Structure 1
Amino acid sequence: MAFKTKKSLGQHFLTDSNIIYKIVEAIGANSDDRLIEIGPGTGALTSWLTKKYNDLHVIEVDERAIEVLKQQVPDVHIHQKDVLKVDWSEILSDKNDNFVVGNLPYYITSPILFTLLAQRSNFKEAILMMQKEVAQRLVASPSSKDYGILSVQTQLMSTPEILFDVSPNSFNPPPKVMSSVIRLTFDKPALECSDEALKKVVRTAFNQRRKKLSNALKPVLDDYRPEGYNFDQRAENWTPDIYAELSAHLEKQNHLK
C-alpha cells in the first residue's frame, strides 16, 4: 500500500535518485563518523547512506514512517522524537566526529537551524535541504533584501554555502517552491559574547529594520552609544562581525537591557 504523506508534518519525500546521489556525495564524513539524519521519512536517502556509513542515526517523529524504516533499513539507529525536543547528548558520538544531513520540513526549518547552530560545537558539518528562499537568506550579504537575523547568526556560527537547487518535481508530493541543498561547515572560532547576547542584539535590531539603529536598538541600549559604531545606519547595513563586537562589548559592560 502506498505511503500517504501527512501535510501536518510538512512531508515532501525526495524521490529523485540523482539528487539523492548528489547529497550523499556532498557529505564530508568518513565511513566511521556518526551521521545523523533528520526526518528520513520512509528512507529514500537513508538506504543510500547505509551503504557508505557504519554509524547512522535517524530522527523521525512519524510512527508510520518508522515502521517502514525498520523494514527497509533494519541496521539503522532510530530515534522516535520531535527534532526540536531531542536531547542531543543521547545521540551524539563522543568517539568520532558528528555530521548532520536532512530534508528539513519547511514549516520548522528556522527552529531546526537555530537548534543546530546552538549545538555547533558538537558538529563538523550539516548538509541540509530547505526552501530556496531560506537558503538564500543564510548566505545573503549585508545591504541585500535577503539579509537578516538568519544571515547574521548563521554566518557568525558557521560557513554556509549553497550547493545546488532542487526542483519540486524531485519530491512526492511536489512542494510549491524550489528547494536548495546547503552546506554548513562549523569552522568558526568561538564568539566573544554569549549566544543569548548576540540573539538579543540582532533580533532587536532587525525587529525594526526600517529604522535607524539608534532607534531600533533603543530597547537594549537606552541612550548609551558606544564609540566606533554607526548608529545612523539600518540593521541590514551592519556586517555580522559588527553585531558580534557590539554584543560582546555590551555584555562585558553589563549594559544589555
Structure 2
Amino acid sequence: MSFRTKKSLGQHFLHDGNIIRKIADAIPAKTGDRVIEIGPGTGALTRELLNRFEDIQVIEIDQRAVEVLNEEFPDLIIHQQDVLKTNWDDLISKTGDTYVVGNLPYYITSPILFSVLEKRDFFKEALFMMQKEVAERLVAEHSSKEYGILSVQTQLMSEPEILFDVSRHSFSPPPRVTSAVIRLRFNKPELPFKDETMKKVVRTAFNQRRKKLSNALKPLLGKELPEGFNYDDRAEHWSPETYAKLSERLEQTDSIS
C-alpha cells in the first residue's frame, strides 16, 4: 500500500541500507534476548532485525503503519500504542536481556529518553537515533555549552556513547538536520538516592543556569547549604558526580525543602 508520512508524528523513515545494517550490527543481542523497536514505521529496520534476531517486538502508534507491518511481517508482535504510555513490565523478556532500539521522532525525543531511563533496570542497552545536537548533549562534559539537564541525568543513569552520524539524505522525507545513533549502556550501579531527588536538584540548578548555585538552588535548599560544595560555581560547572553527591547528602539529612 502507498504510504504518506505524517508531519504530526514527526515521521522520517530511514531507507539507507548501509545505516540500517550498522544499527543492527551494534545490537549485541544473543539467543534468548528480546529486541524491542520503537516506531518501526513501515519496517525498514524491522526487516533487518528479524533476519538477525529471534525475538523481535515493536511499538507503533500509527494505524496505517501497523497495517503495512501486519502485511509484510504476519508473525511480528506489534503493540499499537503510544510509547510514552507503554507498560514496560509487559514487554521485557522474562528469560534473557532486553534491548530497545528506535529512530526517535525529534519532537518527543526527550520524553521517550526519560521514560526509558526511568525504567533502565528493565534494559541491557538502548540504541537510539536522534537529532545530532541532542545526542551531543547526552555525552557533553561539564563546563561545555552543550552540558545541561539531559547530560547529567543520562550520565548518572547510563553510559552514553555516540556511535556514528546519519545524513539527512538517509531518510524519506529528509529532515532538516543531521542525526546520530547513540548507545546507552545500563551498567551503572544503583543510585544511592531516588531518581526524583536528583531530578529536583538538577532541574533547580539549571533553571537559572546564569546564576551562582548559591542563588539558583535557594528554592530547593533555602539558606542552609550543605558543606563541601562550591556554590560560587554555576550549574554547568558541576560534574554529574557532584550532583549525585549533593542528592545523596540531601536524602541522608532529609533537607530538601
TM-score range, shorter chain: over 0.9
What is the deviation of 1:46?
0.1
- Given that 2:201 and 2:243 are in contact with CA atoms closer than 8 Å, whether structure 1 keeps it comes out as yes
Following superposition, the deviation at residue 93 of structure 1 comes to: 1.4
Q: Give the aligned partner of residue 30 of structure 1.
A: 30
Q: Deviations over 1:109-167 (max 9, x none)?
A: 00000001001111000110000000000000000000000000000010000000000
**Is the Cα contact below 8 Å between 1:32 and 1:53 reproduced in 2?**
no
Q: Give SS of 2:117's match.
A: helix
Aligned identity (percent) is 65
Take 1:235 and 1:254, find their aligned partners in 2: how far apart are those partners? 22
Once the two structures are superposed, what CA deviation does each residue of 1:86-121 show, in whole Å capped at 9, x if it has no partner?
011111112110000100000000000000100111
TM-score after normalising by structure 1? 0.99
Output aligned runs, 1:121-136, within 5 Å.
Answer: 121-136=121-136
Give the CA RMSD over aligned residues. 0.7
User: Quick check: 1:40–1:60 contact (8 Å CA) kept in 2?
Assistant: yes
TM-score normalized by structure 2? 0.99
Deviation readout 1:19-72 (Å, 9 max, x if unpaired): 000000011111431100000000000011001111111000000000000111
What code does the residue aligned with 1:242 have? T
Q: CA deviation at 1:74?
A: 1.7
Q: Which residue of 2 aligns with 1:76?
A: 76
* In structure 1, distance between residues paired with 2:45 and 2:171: 12
Query: Any conservation in 1 of the 2:32–2:95 contact (CA below 8 Å)?
Result: no
Alignment of 1:129-168 (within 5 A): 129-168=129-168
Q: Is residue 103–residue 130 contact of structure 1 (8 Å, CA) maintained in 2?
A: yes
Q: Which runs of 5 or more structure 2 residues have no equivalent in the other structure?
A: none
Partner residue, 1:55? 55
1:2 Cα deviation after fit: 2.6
CA contact (8 A) 2:128 2:181 kept: yes
Determine the C-alpha separation between the residues in 1 that align with 2:57 and 2:88.
12
SS where residue 129 of structure 2 aligns? Answer: strand
Contact 1:97–1:123 (CA under 8 A) maintained in structure 2: yes
Letter of the structure 2 residue corresponding to residue 160 of structure 1: P
Aligned-partner Cα distance in 2 for 1:182–1:4: 28
State the Cα distance separating 1:225 from its structure 2 match.
1.3
Partner of 1:225: 225
Within 2, Cα distance between the matches of 1:201 and 1:75? 46
Runs of 4+ with >3 A deviation: none
Per the alignment, residue 17 of structure 1 pairs with 17
SS of match in other structure, 2:52: coil
Where in structure 2 are the equivalents of 1:97-116 lying within 5 Å?
A: 97-116=97-116
Q: Which amino acid aligns with 1:140?
A: A
Structure 2 CA distance for aligned equivalents of residues 72 and 179 of structure 1: 27
1:209 match: 209
Once structures 1 and 2 are overlaid, which stretch shifts more, 12-21 or 1-10?
Answer: 1-10
